[in-house]
Amino acid sequence: MTTLFFIRHGETPSNSLHVRQGVHIDDYLNTQGILQIEKIVPIVKELKLDVLITSYLHRAEESAALLNQKLEKPLPVIHDFRLHERDFGSLTGKKMEEWDKLLPGHAEFERLQTYDYRPYGGENTEDVRQRSLTAILDLITNNPDKRVGIITHNGVIRLLLFHFPEMPRIYRGKDTTKDIANTDIYEWEITDGKIANIKSLIKG
């Protein structure tokens, strides 16, 4: 059985200011984010991972690199662009108050996974679903019976929890005001049934 561990990256300056980064703001971690990653090192060691997967965005890459530096034996690190954050288009870099004015009801659209940022030059739910789930299906196929750490983003984890709400959180990041906090860790054991469910959500 392949087991996937989804880890949200550590905090960035934009996270601390409640600014949406998406893919066009490519922050590194702030001091708090580095400390958050250091705090989960003992937990990650206990997970006995075989490989680390990360998006190409700096906040995910840096989180993976910091974790790897603290492990007794560094893990192979594989990048996959399909696991990056959602593209918010011209809404990128705006604070929540601005989002509330420009896109009323955006929080509910996210909760129901019905958002559509294409009018702003970004992605919609279907775009993110297709790229994320095809990446995960490839990871499962290429890593049979392994324990895989995936350093990714709020939007990818939120999508997965919407479709697979039984995926348990095994570590809670410090910021309890967020439903998906920086450095939250979720564990997902992949069975044949879950593979069939993933495939059913992927077009063609």
8: pLDDT confidence band, cut at 50, 70 and 90? Answer: very high
Q: Whole-model pTM?
A: 0.96
Count up the domains in the chain and report the number: 1
Phi, psi of 95 (to 5 degrees): -80, 170
In a domain, 148, yes or no: yes
In a domain, 200, yes or no: no
74: pLDDT confidence band, cut at 50, 70 and 90? Answer: very high
In a domain, 183, yes or no: yes
The CATH number for 182's domain is 3.40.50.1240
Parent domain of 49: 10-189
Listed in sequence order, the residues at least 6 apart from 204 whose beta carbon sits closer than 8 Å to its beta carbon are none
How many Cα atoms within 13 Å fall on the side-chain side of residue 195?
A: 12
In a domain, 118, yes or no: yes
In a domain, 199, yes or no: no
In a domain, 198, yes or no: no
Torsion of CA 31, 168, 157, 181, to 10 degrees: -30
In a domain, 110, yes or no: yes
Is 90 exceeded by the pLDDT of residue 138? yes
204: pLDDT confidence band, cut at 50, 70 and 90? Answer: low
Give the angle subtended at the CA of 60 by the CAs of 127 and 203, to the nearest 5°.
20
Per-residue pLDDT, 175: 74
Cα 43 to Cα 47: distance, rounded to the nearest angstrom: 7
Per-residue pLDDT, 7: 98
In a domain, 202, yes or no: no
